[in-house]
Amino acid sequence: MLSKTLQKAFNDQINHELTSSYLYLSMAAFAESQNLPGFANWLKIQTKEESCHAMKLYKFVNERGGRVELQKIEQPPFEFKSPTALFEEVLKHERKITALINKLYESALKEKDYPAQVLLHEFIAEQVEEEASASAILETLKMAGEKGHALIMMDRQLARRGQN
């Protein structure tokens, strides 16, 4: 049985994951408006992943006898100064999610909820990958610049995500 404290914490995390999904969809729309379909592709895949994370948490709460309570999702930003600024926001957001998952894990430790800890190990490992991926894209953008051939090549590279 999931404690009331962890139930609330998991419901909060479901909201954060759905908010992430909505944010990345807004970012994808911006990328498409800038004629960067590869960037949009990468962000739409992120949208799907975040939605899957929310559903995994949703399922876990239900399987543990808890009650999912969906919360309000605020409108995400929809304008960004540049592709670099966009990925600065992606990395900032992923770091925020990492901190939230770590806090949730600490709560599971405190409650001695071993099934929650096992589930959250997967999320912790995933966040390492998420931050590394966003950071690599951001660093490449900073090195390559945002104009000309380098940006076009990077857009084409990001378009290949999900084709494996």
pLDDT at position 89, please?
98
Q: Is the dihedral of CA 162, 73, 61, 59 positive or negative?
A: negative
- pLDDT per residue as tens digits for the range 102-115: 999 999 999 999 99
CA–CA distance, 45 with 21 (Å, rounded to integer): 9
- pLDDT per residue as tens digits for the range 28-52: 999 999 999 999 999 999 999 999 9
Supply the DSSP symbol for 82. S
- pTM of the predicted model, to two decimals? 0.94
**pLDDT above 90 for 163:** no
What's the Cα-to-Cα distance from 67 to each of 21, 57, 58, 151, rounded to whole Å? 22, 11, 9, 46
First to last CA, the chain: 39
CA–CA distance, 9 with 133 (Å, rounded to integer): 27
Residue 50: what residue type?
E
CATH topology of domain 4-159: Ferritin (1.20.1260)
User: What average pLDDT score do residues 8-33 get?
Assistant: 98
Show me where the domains of the chain are located: 4-159
**126 close to 102: Cβ distance less than 8 angstroms:** no
